[in-house]
Structure 1
Amino acid sequence: MRKTFRPRRSVLYVPASNAKALAKIASLDTDAVIFDLEDAVAPDAKDEAREALRDYFRANPASKAERIIRINALAGEWGAEDLLAARACKPDAILLPKVETPQDIVSVTEILEETDASENIRLWAMIETPRGILNADEIAELGLRSTGRLDCFVVGTNDIAKETGTGLSEGRSYLIPWLMQIILCAKAGRLDVIDGVYNNFADTAGFATECTQGSKMGFDGKTLIHPSQIDAANRAFQPDEAMLAEAESIVAAFALPENAGKGAIALNGKMVERLHLANAEKTLAKVQIKGDKA
């Protein structure tokens, strides 16, 4: 069963081992936080990071931001302990790195089911390898299963560039075909999909440009490496006035008694289906939730 919609315009990575960063989270207007046990934590600090995360969640049982824990690969040295720690924290989701096949998701789902983990703990998948991109469609199909936990793809642009030898040029022209493929697969699986990070957080203009690009491509939000990037991401992935007006008209039209039960209606010279209604409701929910957080 899917959770109530939550916006994912801004998704901030926070190292689980960084006490100062953890302490600042409550004051930030980010939609979601990824507590990182993987790349951002040095090998000799993994145990300490898990304990810090447990302490943080015990001290902060609720949060205005969606909370996700990124673990190390389950087959690796730290993955099993990370998963146990993440399950105990009861986050909104667990983010799995370098997902390459549906079985990578299924294996974790089975562990969570076998240990009676709450169905509210969802799974997010990092798509960041050539094999992951090639299998993105099969992986995304898990999002259509009523018994599945998969909710979201997160794109790892740095890893994709590294593993393919592709340059992260201005405009990401060489990456765009693969990014669009990931987005298409995610949407087919009714998943959200979050854009990769922008490495130079001091380049505010470049970051804003990439956010605008990502929004137009169909990403639902962007992963961030610094709190200074939150406001720009929230603005870029927020619906504009024209989108809001159209969404309101679609919702109002389907609410009319004469349209009850109809799968498609005519509106302003266009044929509008119930899938458009679902998208319109999602658009309006972004604004409503933003207002609730303000």
Structure 2
Amino acid sequence: MLRYITAGHPPFILIRDNKALLMPQPGKEKNHLPIPFLKNASYGSTCFQLQENDQLLFYTDGLTEMTLRNLKTTMTVDELRHHVQTLLDDFHGATGRTMPVSALTAALLERISALSRETVLPEQGNSKSVNTSSDDITLVGIEIETFNQSVTKTVYPKTAAAVSGFVQEILTLIFDQKENTAYRHMKTRAFMILEEALTNAWKHGNNMDPDKPVTLCFDSRNDFVFEITDQGTGFDYCNLPDPTSAENIQKDSGRGLFILRHFSDHVEWKGTGNHILIFLKKMKTLDNRVDMEKPATCVGIWGKN
């Protein structure tokens, strides 16, 4: 159940069954004032029952006012909703699937920027954000998922070859799913990442002990998410030597985590370091082709992610 107030923000957009809908404004119109507008102002709230696979787009008026400087007009919320619906329809027509919310937010920002003759790019890793429009812009997309649909596998590898075989089994399971057939070109990249992460868990975490398990939990509905846990004591993942530095470049070890960081879209460790999460985004390019073979642009300096 979602309970919300607007406090001056325009209606956000609900996407359900591939249809873009404007969420109702709660309470009376006079209760939609920005928070610092009046002292002791009251705000009406409302509740809405969300469903699995619902998507929500939250945005500030900087998005709808991006057209103001060059086109001398603002975009109505219904016009914005229409742009969202067009992107959804185009993606579904090309792939037969629902557009991932991460791809939708990126495509929507690019479309409104082009329409407004502005350049608006979010911050990505070492690349600073760019905004030539006259206002700040915030655009956030979320998707309601049920994590009990995630799949968990446990393996007790005895050899490195067993690890590779397990990775191949998992990726075959993922990419044979109908909704993921358009992303099969990612399989080689995913194999390299998972083989490295699981080998690290078996070799360094479990010390190659065949009686110790390595657990993999994965989800592939919105983006590809892999969660790996070993039985080791962990390591100091915040202070790692740079394998690209002059003193380390000739060494025959120490590049595994560099590979993970470079070819994943996001990597994070939990706890002592024996628990890792790896994210691979499903994205859609402007020519309606899925293109995820390029390494993540968010990684340019060792230790930055």
Greater helix proportion:
1
Larger radius of gyration: 2
Confirm or deny a common fold (TM above 0.5): no
Q: TM-score, normalised by structure 1?
A: 0.29
Q: TM-score, normalised by structure 2?
A: 0.28
